[in-house]
A = this chain, B = another copy of it.
Amino acid sequence: MATTQTIDRVLPGLLSRRAKDLPGPRLGDPRDSAKLISFLAGFPDPKSLPAEEVIAATRTALTNQGEWALQYGATRGQQPLVEALIEKLARDQDIHVAPAEILVTSGASQALALIIDALVDWGDTVITEQPTWSGAVRAFSNAGAKPVPVPVDDEGTDVAALERILNERKAEGITPKFIYVISNFQNPVGVSTTEERRKRIIELAHEFGTFIVEDDAYSDLRYSGQRIPSIYQLDDGGTTLYMSTLSKTLGAGMRLGWVLGDAGLISKLSVLKVDGGSNVFGSYVAAEWIPNHFTGHVDELKRIYHRRRDLMLKALNEHMPAGTNWTKPDGGFFIWVTLPEGVDTSRMLPQARERGVEFLPGAGCYVDGGGKNTLRLSYSFASDEQIEPGIRILGEIAKGELLEAKV
């Protein structure tokens, strides 16, 4: 028999391209974050998670359908959940789909992974808003996709830049596989792309022959302003895949999301999805919970997050150094803070943690190494009482860094 060193001899030659030079694990374990004043992650408010309602929904689901809820499930999604989601999408998003156009997934993260599997070969180009969701940055990198960034401004995706980038790629003979857009309360910036720009994104996608991947995790959590039609709704060419999740409403622990799109492409995604069904148990529980509780619970969440946003904006106003800018979201979880050039927010994080506060340095939301002077604040997880003291500490640290940067 071999020695225990066999693996060290053997493994390096066996790793795939994607497994070589991997970064470290992503930040974010809610049990660790709860020990701090945490503005780090898009974790929903822990106190409002509907535990009692979920116990009752579990009892109903397992009493009536236990032999299905604890069994393998249909790859496409469990029928009661599919029906509940179709009804919810029609009511809340004015999106009307047939069962063949929806695939239930293990959170929106599995939806994005399947889309990448179906469209992206190693080395292919994709276009992404920048900054964007750090999980998408990881998913692109794991698949060997080459992400080309498009800026986000106060009206969302910069469509003039998008057009320029598409033209540049076309001149090189490259068709990007898709344009990844977080249309509402963008993660991490917090802004929504205007209707006019959404229409322009669709025109450009059709003109340049690429797909749109619309990530819409937050649209249920709008607490001011008017709902904007989704790109998926507006796209009469069928070239948009729309993904969303129960993580920000019912609870992230359910790990349930969905992707909508052309029936033929959804069918391909389902063939690539070899997983015995996405959280079958949770699907039956969610199917019980959604018709009875979704709307009321979301109303409660909107009150909570609206209040927290206001508390955080007020605290930023009071404590942030001059020359700092931040966004004012109409919904969702995030405020995006831009400090003066020269400040490196990754240097601020250890100081903040030492003083009991955490946030997300913006660089993890960039695909081109930029964003060093930015950070994302989530106001979903910390309590009302923690917000002002937490921002005060961050403001003090930022002022210190600013002095240092100027020396």
Contacts and interface: CB of A to CB of B under 8 A. Distances in A.
Contacts of A138: 274
Contact of A117 (B4, B18, B135, B202): B18
Contacts of A253: 68-73, 277, 280-281, 284
A50 interface: yes
How many A residues are at the interface, by size bracket? 35 or more
A14 B175 contact: yes
Interface stretch (A83-91, A104-112, A154-162): A104-112
Contacts of A51: 62-63, 66-67, 69-70
A20 to B, nearest CB: 9
A272 B72 contact: no
Contact of A71 (B3, B46, B278): B46
Nearest to A207: B2
B118 A15 contact: yes
Contact of A1 (B43, B178, B237, B270): B237
Contact of A255 (B202, B247, B279): B279
B271 A254 contact: no
A153 B265 CA distance: 40
A118 B271 contact: no
A155 to B, nearest CB: 20
A327 interface: no
A275 B106 contact: yes
A172 interface: no
The 5 A-B residue pairs with the shortest CB-CB distance, nearest first, are: A51-B66, A6-B237, A70-B251, A253-B280, A7-B238
Given A44-B71, A107-B275, A281-B285, 11 more contacts: A1-B199, A4-B236, A6-B238, A11-B239, A14-B175, A25-B75, A25-B267, A25-B271, A31-B68, A49-B70, A138-B274
Interface of A: 1-7, 9-11, 13-19, 22-26, 28-31, 41, 43-44, 46-47, 49-52, 54-55, 58-59, 62-63, 66-75, 79, 106-107, 109-110, 113, 117-122, 124, 135, 138-139, 142, 175, 177-178, 199, 202-203, 206, 209-211, 236-239, 247, 250-255, 262, 264-265, 267-268, 270-272, 274-282, 284-285
